[in-house]
Structure 1
Amino acid sequence: MTTAHDVDVHHGRAWVDAAESVRIGYTVATPPEPTKTVVLLHGAPQTRYEWRKVMMPLAAAGYRVVMPDYRGAGASDKPRDGYDKWTMAGDIHTLVREVLGVEEPVSLVGHDLGSTVALGFALRYRADVVSATFMEAPLPGTDYYRRRMAQKSAWQFSFHANPDVAVYLVHGRERWYVNRFFDELTYQPDAISNGDLNVYARAYEAPGAIRAMCEVYRELDRDAEDNRTALREHGKLTVPVLASGGAANPLATNFLDMCEEVADSATGQLVPDCGHWVAEEQPAYFTKMFCDFDAAARVR
């Protein structure tokens, strides 16, 4: 059985877009003989630190675990442009294929905004994906995304889509702003400590970090157009898709129908006693849920 002592954990930064001088920060956890690869894409206001509780269990299950900070977050560069999800997916594809040398199709897991990047990856690089898990996000291009954007409770989408206003109002208040999302959306408050919140707050206090996060949001309507075009021209995803989220989130009941808009085969499974931050609030449940789903996907 693979133990933590057997897993090689490597942290790095790599050029993924030399033309724009963009570097991506990442962590890779590799068991002695990895048989498969999973790419974990974090949400906002988070970084790859989001996956700290599930990294070793997934490696113990035989996965090479790739955890990037997507463009604009954490240790990654924060350029002015390039926050449409097809470009961001290209960053991740270059990291996985050219930098890390992963040759086999990968399993994708996206949480929150990471799900929008994961969808862009799955639509753009269909042959390189064996399964996709989307958690806790309205996927651009779906009817649910359109309905969700019209709801008052989705205020942050419109707010962040105006970067100059958002950056001006949040500047100097980043720590309070980050904490506010966790205070509102957490079901298991002890799952995320003050120390954990400090990690995220420091990441978004960094120069350019809040603006970069806003740019990720600002491009979502463009992403919707890109995704609709890809679905119209090439059809739905044919790989198995898992639609998941915290069962304590009343919006989570929409996730399966939403994923059926983009995938031929979608399975819904909500995480009990859990809010928005699935991998942090219920890491053991998430790990088993994902491993069971992905194992079934790989024998199709």
Structure 2
Amino acid sequence: MTDDLTHGMAPIEPGLRLHYVTAGEGPRTALLLHGFPQTWREWRHVIPPLVAAGFRVIAPDYRGAGNSWRPADGYDKRTMARDLHVLLRTHLNVEGPVVLMGHDIGLMVAYAYAQAYRDEVSHLVTVDAPLPGTEVFDRIRTDPRVWHFAFHGVRDVPEMLVAGRERPYLQAFFDARSADPSAVAPEDFDAYVDAYSAPGALRAGFETYRAFDQDIEDNRAALARNGKLDIPVLAVGGATSTAGDVIEQMMREVATDVTGLRIPNTGHWVPDEAPHTLAQALIDRTKA
């Protein structure tokens, strides 16, 4: 699998280069956006079936994550979406609408991208996370099971407490949100620990949470200005996840053509726990 991937670094703006992985040469492009505390690697087992179905797949490390650079700011999801637009249109010369799938923080970036570049996205797949600016987000944000929203949002303290303890913290983070704790392979977990142990990586990851209040304002303004998305949306949740049973309802707040999918025997880490089911769902939805 890894032999079929091409890695690259794209200059986006002064002080920012994004790492990305591409696979396949199909006529349609699928852009896959990871979440926290992961990198592009969370899509390793999703990419092959998409390539086999005729997609060109692009899986970047978004701003601050993995091998991408870690600037001091710009972690609101509208700015992160603009980064990816530059990556696709200027660096990779992608033409035509893309199929967009985002998990966790990547869901938030994917929605911002679909709102900002409405004519350049054909389908949106949102995977297991609350979206800032929705009523569902407001409810989930106060749920004790997502205590990390508040913890990560505090300035400096999370870095002070987690730095040097990245491995046990991330292990607890994954285990608490898994239906199958073995789904994240040891080599992948080691890669995530290495990625978030790098200088500045924790800060960059936490900044994506610290931007939630700005994201709420941006998303509500975009919805008021542009209206709901009218492209087909597939809203995917894990059966045992906090957001799993409300993600379809959430996406109906911001989109008109929504199909829900609850995947059995999965928690929050859907691309790891049910990669083939997730890939097939995208393939089936984009045939319609």
Please confirm whether the aligned pair reaches a TM-score higher than 0.5, indicating the same fold: yes
Matches within 5 A, 1:258-277: 258-277=250-269
Does structure 1 residue 13 correspond to structure 2 residue 9? yes
Q: Secondary structure at the match of 1:97?
A: helix
- Per the TM alignment, residue 266 of structure 1 is displaced from its structure 2 partner at its CA by 0.7
CA contact 1:51–1:67 (8 Å) conserved in 2: yes
Which of 22, 44, 68 lines up with 2:16 in the alignment?
A: 22
Distance in 2 (alpha carbons) for counterparts of 1:161 and 1:283:
30
The percentage of aligned residue pairs carrying the same residue is: 47
Does structure 1 residue 204 correspond to structure 2 residue 200? no
CA contact 1:42–1:48 (8 Å) conserved in 2: yes
Distance in 2 (alpha carbons) for counterparts of 1:71 and 1:276:
22
Matches within 5 A, 1:1-300: 9-18=5-14, 21-31=15-25, 34-296=26-288
Q: Secondary structure at the match of 1:245?
A: strand
CA contact 2:237–2:261 (8 Å) conserved in 1: yes
Could you give the per-residue CA deviations for residues 249-269 of structure 1, whole angstroms, max 9, x where no partner exists?
A: 253111111000010111101
Distance in 1 (alpha carbons) for counterparts of 2:169 and 2:56:
34
CA contact 1:163–1:211 (8 Å) conserved in 2: no
Could you give the per-residue CA deviations for residues 67-123 of structure 1, whole angstroms, max 9, x where no partner exists?
A: 000001000000110001010000111001111110110011000010000011011
Q: Secondary structure at the match of 1:286?
A: helix
Distance in 2 (alpha carbons) for counterparts of 1:197 and 1:88:
24
TM-score using structure 2 length: 0.97
Could you give the per-residue CA deviations for residues 16-59 of structure 1, whole angstroms, max 9, x where no partner exists?
A: 123xx20000000023xx12000000011000000011111111
Distance in 2 (alpha carbons) for counterparts of 1:191 and 1:152:
24
- Per the TM alignment, residue 290 of structure 1 is displaced from its structure 2 partner at its CA by 1.1
- Per the TM alignment, residue 187 of structure 1 is displaced from its structure 2 partner at its CA by 1.1
- Per the TM alignment, residue 8 of structure 1 is displaced from its structure 2 partner at its CA by 5.1
Instruction: Output the amino acid matched with 1:13.
Output: M
CA contact 2:236–2:244 (8 Å) conserved in 1: yes
Q: Secondary structure at the match of 1:186?
A: coil
- Per the TM alignment, residue 195 of structure 1 is displaced from its structure 2 partner at its CA by 2.0
Gaps of 5+ in 2: none
CA contact 1:178–1:201 (8 Å) conserved in 2: yes
CA contact 1:275–1:281 (8 Å) conserved in 2: yes
Q: Secondary structure at the match of 1:190?
A: coil
Distance in 1 (alpha carbons) for counterparts of 2:4 and 2:187:
25
Instruction: Output the amino acid matched with 2:89.
Output: R
Could you give the per-residue CA deviations for residues 233-263 of structure 1, whole angstroms, max 9, x where no partner exists?
A: 1100011111111112253111111000010
CA contact 1:278–1:286 (8 Å) conserved in 2: yes
Distance in 2 (alpha carbons) for counterparts of 1:191 and 1:135:
17
Q: Between Structure 1 and Structure 2, how many residues are aligned? A: 288
Instruction: Output the amino acid matched with 1:223.
Output: D
CA contact 2:130–2:243 (8 Å) conserved in 1: no
User: Quick one: structure 1 residues 113 and 250, their matched pair in 2 at CA, closer, same or farther if it must change by over 3 Å?
Assistant: closer
CA contact 2:49–2:280 (8 Å) conserved in 1: no
RMSD: 1.4
Gaps of 5+ in 1: none
CA contact 2:130–2:140 (8 Å) conserved in 1: yes
